[in-house]
Amino acid sequence: MAGTVIDKPMDHRATEQAVLDRAGTTRMTEAEQSLLNHPWDEAAVRRGQKIFDRTLTPLSDHRGSSDYRLEVSKSLIEKYWWEQRS
């Protein structure tokens, strides 16, 4: 990740937070803000997914293409919405 600072103790081992950051954990604050104080409905899901389309740039590797990872990320918003409905 460009611009990521990894804190390393004096013995040069990465901290737990640095490992999580390098693993690709990303907080989608723009999507969060678009959902706050709005009805939690299908339109909200689509709004969040559009923000994911615009802002996420997943990596491609042997485990999955960037397109596949983006679609999985978007599907998690919808999955959560469906789970909250039942």
**Per-residue pLDDT tens digits for 51-67:** 999 998 888 989 899 99
Closest by alpha carbon to 41, among 81, 80, 74, 75? 81
For the chain, give every domain's residue range: 27-85
Higher pLDDT residue, 19 or 86?
86
Q: Which two tokens stand for residue 8?
A: 């390393």
Residue 11 pLDDT exceeds 50: no
pLDDT digits 0-9 by tens, 17-62: 444 445 556 778 888 888 888 898 999 999 999 999 999 888 898 9
C-alpha separations of 79 from 20, 23, 57, 72, 84 in Å: 23, 22, 21, 10, 9
